[in-house]
């Protein structure tokens, strides 16, 4: 039942202040830690969504109390000169209210308000469990930027988010059975992924927003639970593979997120045939990287990250695959043509990876592709005979996987031959193009302290490097993405010439 808007505003503001006062009282009475007080404040503020929206008829009056409270809270906090951790905590509270304001603007109609509540409570329950479990039992650590997190805490986030969304889904939306399980499992997984990669309390803003919008999309479009199960299978399978790669130090924490994203999209939209080539590339690249590290540890330290491939590297290598899988799902182009393009892109990426790892470990002193000028091992654009053979081998491996899939799919011999040739040529072309762009446009840096060329903005010695040639925005990831895209286009172009 609606009250007069000003009266409801006063009640809302009183509720928020009462949460702070009660948390402080418990802190004084039971000597609770600052950590526990913060958790109680978050729970109290977020659970306002179960009560306060029902008091208002107009969204403007509803958002006025959170807005006023945020202003008062910011002024009372006195952030000037405060440590970064304290400032992040204050803005974490403000992010929650900002998420509430945005969500209830989008879902103000009474029938849609459960979606907003699901987003906010997924954060409240999930983040609280993540913090409690991570603090008490978080032994297996990982790092996003400079923030420490734990796998135990991440599992706690998933459990809490799942419970909160399931509660809203069953009590307010009437979902049950396979539909509830599929929608809640997927949405909770996305909430957990957002929380895992967020820094500086930004999860307090993005988790509610993404969770509510995804949950709304799933329910309103009434996607069959079988389709959701396929997506969940892609997420779980990609995560398990990425976890093994993380354990082998082939991926860092951001790389795990990227691998889950790439694997999920490609499996869900491309289908089962798209998985074997991706796995072959991933496994071969991981094994080659480990082998190369052991043979040339000093070169690895100077030119590549110590904790494995990161998010940007994974997306640069797999981003074209995501785009092509969506194209085949939408049936915009002929499916076999797009699949050959995907294999061509993967062959180009594999050729570049094999060329680099084999060339650095076995090739000796490389030279630039066109000028024949000798350069240091690991320099972008440098090639060796061993590296060129490695590029051909990398492209050939993906081509053979494609050949097996084509034959098992019952394609006629001419399509099999033309498709196989297109993939092999496109892969080797992509590797050569990568070397060419490494010479012409990729940014090159120099460490004045160590007197060495490098690709890192901060050299491994800790000294900031300076640009000596190339375009500042064109780093190795940009070159890799462009070459992967070019390989896909070349593969599809060659196939079209044969058809």
Task: Provide the b/e sequence for 407-427 (b: ≥16 CB within 10 Å).
Answer: eeeeeeeebbebbbebbbbbb
User: Residue 246: enclosing H or E segment and its boundaries?
Assistant: helix 225-247
Look at residue 235 and give its three-state secondary structure: helix
DSSP assignment of 398-430 equals: HHHHHHHHHHHTT--HHHHHHHHHHHHHHHHHH
Structural domain boundaries in the chain: 5-223, 255-498
Q: What pLDDT shows up at residue 429?
A: 93
Phi-psi region of 412 (alpha: psi -120 to 50; beta: other; left: phi over 0): beta
Q: Specify the residue for token string 């907003």.
A: 116
Structural contact between residues 201 and 158, judged by C-beta atoms closer than 8 angstroms: no
CA distance 387 to 410: 35
Residue 81 CB neighbours (<10 A) = 7
Nearest to 348 by CA among 290, 435, 262: 435
Q: What pLDDT shows up at residue 477?
A: 84
Q: Specify the residue for token string 């491996």.
A: 397
Q: What pLDDT shows up at residue 225?
A: 66
Q: What pLDDT shows up at residue 381?
A: 58
222: Cβ contacts below 8 Å, ≥ 6 apart: none
CA torsion angle for 206, 207, 213, 217 (degrees, to 10)?
A: 140
Return contacts of 262-265, CB within 8 angstroms, 24+ apart: 262/238, 262/314, 262/315, 262/318, 262/319, 262/321, 262/322, 263/234, 263/237, 263/238, 264/231, 264/234, 264/235, 264/238, 265/234, 265/321, 265/322, 265/325, 265/326
378: Cβ contacts below 8 Å, ≥ 6 apart: 299, 302, 303, 304, 360
CA distance 289 to 361: 10
Read off the tokens for 340: 């050959």
Going by the DSSP 8-state scheme, the letter that residue 463 receives in this structure is P
CA torsion angle for 62, 67, 72, 75 (degrees, to 10)?
A: 170
Residue 7 CB neighbours (<10 A) = 11
Phi-psi region of 454 (alpha: psi -120 to 50; beta: other; left: phi over 0): beta
pLDDT in tens, the chain (499 residues): 556 888 889 999 899 889 888 988 888 888 878 788 888 888 999 999 999 998 998 899 999 988 888 888 777 775 454 444 545 567 778 899 999 999 999 999 999 999 999 999 999 999 999 989 988 888 877 776 667 888 888 889 999 999 999 999 999 999 988 788 888 988 998 899 888 877 778 889 999 999 999 899 888 887 776 777 777 788 888 888 888 888 877 887 778 878 888 988 898 888 889 999 999 998 888 888 778 777 665 555 555 444 567 777 888 889 899 899 988 877 888 999 999 999 999 999 999 888 888 877 775 666 566 566 666 655 665 677 788 888 899 999 999 999 999 999 888 999 999 999 999 999 999 988 888 887 778 777 777 767 666 666 666 666 677 777 777 777 888 888 999 999 999 999 999 998 7
Look at residue 143 and give its three-state secondary structure: strand
Q: What pLDDT shows up at residue 367?
A: 59
pTM: 0.64
325: Cβ contacts below 8 Å, ≥ 6 apart: 265, 266, 268, 269, 270, 274, 342
Q: What pLDDT shows up at residue 84?
A: 44
CA torsion angle for 74, 76, 77, 78 (degrees, to 10)?
A: 100
DSSP assignment of 181-227 equals: HHHHHHHHHHHHHHHHH--TTTHHHHHHHHHHHHHHHHHHHT--HHH
Read off the tokens for 355: 């060329």
Q: What pLDDT shows up at residue 100?
A: 94
Q: What pLDDT shows up at residue 346?
A: 95
Q: What pLDDT shows up at residue 304?
A: 47
């Amino acid at each position: 039942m609606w009250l007069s808007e000003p009266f409801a505003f006063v009640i809302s503001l009183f509720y928020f202040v009462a949460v702070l006062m009660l948390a402080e009282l418990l802190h004084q009475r039971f000597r609770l830690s600052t950590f526990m007080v913060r958790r109680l404040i978050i729970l109290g503020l977020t659970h306002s969504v179960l009560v306060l929206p029902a008091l208002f008829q107009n969204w403007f009056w509803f958002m006025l109390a959170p807005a006023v409270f945020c202003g008062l809270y910011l002024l009372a906090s006195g952030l000037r000169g405060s440590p970064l951790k304290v400032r992040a905590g204050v803005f974490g509270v403000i992010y929650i209210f900002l998420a509430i304001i945005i969500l209830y603007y989008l879902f103000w109609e009474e029938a849609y308000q459960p979606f907003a509540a699901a987003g906010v409570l997924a954060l409240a329950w999930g983040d609280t469990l993540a913090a409690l479990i991570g603090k008490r039992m978080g032994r297996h650590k990982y790092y996003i930027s400079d923030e420490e997190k734990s796998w135990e805490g991440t599992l706690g986030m998933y459990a809490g988010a799942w419970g909160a969304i399931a509660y809203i889904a069953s009590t307010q939306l009437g979902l049950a059975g396979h539909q509830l399980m599929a929608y809640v499992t997927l949405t909770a997984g996305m909430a957990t992924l957002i929380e895992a990669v967020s820094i500086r309390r930004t999860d307090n803003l993005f988790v509610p927003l993404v969770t509510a919008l995804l949950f709304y999309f799933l329910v309103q479009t009434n996607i069959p639970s079988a389709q959701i199960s396929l997506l969940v299978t892609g997420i779980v399978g990609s995560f398990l593979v990425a976890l093994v790669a993380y354990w082998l130090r082939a991926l860092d924490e951001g790389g795990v997120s990227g691998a889950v994203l790439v694997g999920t999209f490609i499996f869900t939209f491309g289908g089962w045939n798209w998985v074997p080539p991706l796995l072959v590339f991933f496994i071969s690249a991981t094994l080659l990287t480990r082998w190369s590290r052991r043979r040339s540890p000093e070169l690895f330290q100077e030119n590549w990250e110590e904790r494995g491939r990161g998010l940007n590297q994974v997306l640069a290598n797999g981003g074209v695959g995501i785009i092509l899988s969506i194209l085949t799902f939408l049936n915009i182009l002929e499916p076999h043509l797009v699949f050959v393009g995907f294999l061509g892109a993967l062959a180009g990426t594999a050729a570049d990876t094999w060329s680099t790892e084999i060339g650095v470990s076995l090739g000796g002193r490389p030279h630039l592709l066109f000028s024949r000028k000798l350069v240091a091992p690991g320099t972008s654009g440098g090639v060796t005979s061993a590296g060129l053979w490695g590029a051909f081998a990398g492209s050939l491996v993906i081509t053979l996987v494609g050949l097996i899939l084509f034959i098992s799919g019952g394609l006629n011999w001419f399509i099999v031959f033309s498709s196989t040739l297109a993939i092999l040529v496109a892969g080797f072309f992509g590797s050569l193009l990568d070397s060419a762009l490494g010479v012409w446009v990729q940014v090159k840096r120099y460490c004045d302290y160590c007197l060495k060329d490098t690709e890192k903005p901060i050299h491994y010695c800790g000294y900031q490097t300076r640009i000596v040639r190339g375009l500042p925005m064109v780093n190795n990831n940009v070159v890799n993405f462009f070459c992967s895209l070019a390989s896909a286009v070349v593969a599809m172009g060659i196939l079209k010439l044969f058809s």
